[in-house]
Amino acid sequence: MKPKETMLNIPLIKKLSCDEIGDDHMATSPDTPMREDAFALDDEIKIELIRKHFFEIMHILGLDLTDDSLKGTPERVARMYVNEIFSGLNPANKPVIRLFDNKYKYNQMIVEKNITFYSCCEHHFVPFFGKAQVAYISSGKVIGLSKLNRLVQYYAKRPQVQERLTMQIGNELKKSLKTEDVAVVMEAKHLCVASRGVKDTASTTITSFYSGKFEDDKFKSEFLEHIK
């Protein structure tokens, strides 16, 4: 069975070999690379197009798509991509942050530990996952603690590199909380390292973001003591 021609009209990009690209996990920008027309298609159209293309990928690999276990996979993958693991690409899914007056005048750091996140390596489209530790010092406003978790998970739900993910969370916390005093530490296991390439199943990657008072050794040490 010959797969249907369903390729999108995408500008041709110079093809680089894997040797030229390598396995370097460097972010090109603190912003996720997005086309200007990224949201010209609604979600249902995206799901249908991804379903067709993933069907073709499975067909090329030689899988029997009439098998009961496989025939629903293209649809499942398409819906998972759009509605779940890449839902953070769509700004419509960004959590609404409501600020409250810090009426109790709490002026010490607020730390949220062990926020679980799952993301996807943009170089190989395999998962990386781990824990985020975030802290801030109120400049007069506070937010509900669950919103810290939701912001972490929102930025994790897109193709990412860990360095960019850490910076996006830190910068968004500064903007949303209207404070410069923010800290983020993330530790993750990357399946592109564990399941392919070097196949190192023991290593983890740690990235950090410090701003405002957290650039001072006193505050940084207190934060690291809280999260160790």
In the 8-state DSSP scheme, what is residue 198?
T
Q: Mark residue 42 as left, alpha or beta (left: phi above 0; alpha: psi -120 to 50; beta: remaining).
A: beta
Residues in CB range of 165: below 8 A, 6 or more apart: 119, 155, 156, 186, 207
122 has catalytic annotation? yes
CA 216 vs CA 167, 182, 221: distances in Å:
18, 12, 9
- The reply to whether 18 belongs to the active site is no
Answer yes or no: 123 catalytic: yes
Per DSSP, the three-state class of 40 is coil
Active-site pick, 56, 122, 187, 222: 122
Question: In terms of Cα–Cα distance, which of 118, 198, 200, 199 is closest to 162?
Answer: 118
Q: What residue has token string 């109790």?
A: 104
Residue among 123, 163, 180, 187 flagged as catalytic:
123
Residue among 133, 153, 160, 162 flagged as catalytic: 162
The yes-or-no answer on residue 133 being catalytic is no
Instruction: Clarify whether 153 is annotated catalytic.
Output: no
Catalytic position from the list 160, 168, 172, 192: 192
User: Of these residues, 121, 153, 168, 172, which one is catalytic?
Assistant: 121
d(CA 202, CA 215): 30
Q: Report yes or no: 47 and 84 within 8 Å, Cβ to Cβ.
A: no
Residue of 25, 124, 168, 172 with catalytic role: 124
Q: Which residues contact 80 (CB under 8 A, 6 or more apart)?
A: none
Report helix, strand or coil for 85.
Answer: helix
**Active-site residue list:** 121-124, 162, 190, 192
